[in-house]
Structure formats: structure tokens, C-alpha cells
Amino acid sequence: MSAIYAAQREQNDLYINPLPVRIWHWANALGFVLLILTGLQLRYADLLNVIPFEMTVKMHNWVGFSVIANYFIWLGFYLFSDRIKVYHPELNARRFFIRAFRQIRYYGYGIFKGEPSPHLVRPYDKFNPMQSITYQIVMLLVIPAQFATGIMMWDIKRFEDWIALLGGIRVVDTIHVLIFIFFVSFILVHAYMGALGHTPSAHFKEMFTGYEEAGRKQDRQRG
């Protein structure tokens, strides 16, 4: 199946997203949407009353643990493959900032003028500098912090020493909610950026097939 599918592809199509990354991405997306929805239900039970509270707690916990398990697919894949290079294609800080500035200018102006993206997607350099820095902060700092605070609130008694170390359950909850608020915004903007390919669905297709379509090098940028 995959051989036939591969044969149908144009010779210049680039294999950007290997299977583990795609599995992680969509499972993570589904998990995040469910966590946001159940989180909203838990936090605003007085305004939303779609699912009973007790069931929502169970759903939030189960989905949370699934997302944590899924995170290790991402982590394992990048730790044990050479694809980890996609996060560090540019080690020169000066060049990195120049490229980042060009990318910001492109998103804020050039894209409207029909200019090509300054970043050319390649299998080992798939993220533009803005994506690279954002995703590293999100994946290595923000998401683990959300997991940690979520786990602590899942069983407060068990983790009471850790909670005390952080300054109390209110502090832990506030961190969890602030990250939740960030992700609400992030997912909406992320979905919009995903639609900025050469066609609105190009990047979505790419995240299913793994292949960046050929012949579109001039406007290759990703959400």
C-alpha cells in the first residue's frame, strides 16, 4: 500500500513528517481539544452543563494520561532518530535571528504581497526559525509543566510535598490554568497558520500523508 502510494507521488515530493510524528500530532491535537473542552466544563460547570461533573473528571484524567503517553512517542522518536536535527538546523545565533526577523516580516507583510517564504522546507530543516523556537519552548517547557501540574492535581494528597514546594495548590492550579489559556489561543492560531500553505488544505494533507507536495517551493511555509 505504502509502495503504491509512494509511486503515485511526484518524484520531487519531500517526506517531511514520518509516521510517528503524524500519529503523535493528530493524537495530541485530539487530546488537546478534549482536554480543553473537558477543562472548560470542569471550570465553568455553572455556565456549561453538558456532561456530569464526575464523568468529566474521569474523562479529563484519562485523556490527560493518554496525552502524556503520546508525548513519549514524540520524545522517543526525536531522541532515537536523526530527525532531531529539525529543531537545530541553525546553530549560529546571528544567522538564526536574521532568519527569524525575515520570517516575521514575511508573516506580517510579505505573505500578503505574494512573496515566497524565506524558509525552504526540507526533511531535516522543516521548521522556520519562529516555529523552531516556539515548538521547543512548547514541547520542552510548557507541555511538561502542564503535565506536571495536571498530575499533581490528579492526586493532590500523593503529591502534596511537591505542591508545597511550588507554593501551594493555588499556585499549581494557576499555572495549569494559565497554560490552558495559552493553548486555547495557540490551537486557534495554529489551525489558521496551517491554512497558509499554497492551498488552505496543503499543510493539513501533509500532516496526514507525511509528504510535502512538489512544485511549490516558492511558497513553502508551515503553520
Partner 1 sequence: MKGYRHKLVIAMLLACVPLDGNTAVNVAENHVMESSEVVLRAVLKKNTRCLKCHSREKFKSLDDGEQMSLQVLPQAYLSSAHGEVTCIGCHEAIGNRKHPSRKTNIAVSSQREYSLQLNQSCRNCHTGKYTRYEGSIHASLVSKGNTIAPLCTDCHSAHAVESMAVYKPVTGLPCKNCHADIFDAYAASVHGKARKNGNVIRAGHIQAPVCANCHRAHDVTAVAFGDNLKAECLGCHEDVKLAHDRWLPNAGLHLDVVSCAACHAPVAERRIDLQLVDNITRLPVGGKQGHEVLQKQLEIIDQADGNIDPLRLWNLVRQCGQQDKALNITLRGRMEVSSGAEAHRLARSGLAVRNCDSCHQSGSEPFEDVVISIIRPDGRTLHYQADKEILGSMASVGSVSDFYVLGGTRVKLLDILLLLAIFAGFAIPAGHFTMGRIIRKKESKGGQ
What is the pattern of x (binds partner 1, CB under 8 A) and - over residues 51-80? -xxx--xx--x-------------------
Q: Where are the alpha helices (DSSP H) in 80-223?
A: 93-105, 111-113, 129-137, 143-154, 160-166, 169-194, 202-209
Distance (Å, whole) CA 19 – CA 6: 14
- By CB under 8 A, is residue 113 in contact with partner 1? yes
Instruction: Please say which residue, 98 or 142, places its beta carbon nearer to partner 1.
Output: 142
- The least CB distance from residue 159 to partner 1, in Å, is 11
Contact criterion met (CB below 8 Å) for 55 and 40: no
Piece of the chain touching partner 1 by CB under 8 A; list 78-86, 126-134, 154-162, 214-222: 154-162
Out of 168, 199, 201, 208, name the contact with partner 1 by CB under 8 A. Answer: 168
Q: Is 179 left (phi over 0), alpha (psi -120 to 50) or beta?
A: alpha
Instruction: Please say which residue, 84 or 165, places its beta carbon nearer to partner 1.
Output: 165
- The least CB distance from residue 71 to partner 1, in Å, is 22
Return the closest-CA partner of residue 217 out of 45, 33, 14.
Answer: 14
- By CB under 8 A, is residue 161 in contact with partner 1? no
Distance (Å, whole) CA 159 – CA 35: 21
CA angle 217, 222, 223 (to 5 degrees): 160
Instruction: Please say which residue, 86 or 131, places its beta carbon nearer to partner 1.
Output: 131
Out of 42, 51, 68, 151, name the contact with partner 1 by CB under 8 A. Answer: 42
Instruction: Please say which residue, 84 or 115, places its beta carbon nearer to partner 1.
Output: 115
The DSSP secondary structure of 12-48, one letter per residue, reads: T-EE-S-HHHHHHHHHHHHHHHHHHHHHHHHHTTTT-
Out of 11, 112, 161, 215, name the contact with partner 1 by CB under 8 A. Answer: 112
Q: How far is CA 216 from CA 187, 212, 219, in A?
A: 26, 9, 6
Instruction: Please say which residue, 54 or 82, places its beta carbon nearer to partner 1.
Output: 54
- By CB under 8 A, is residue 156 in contact with partner 1? yes
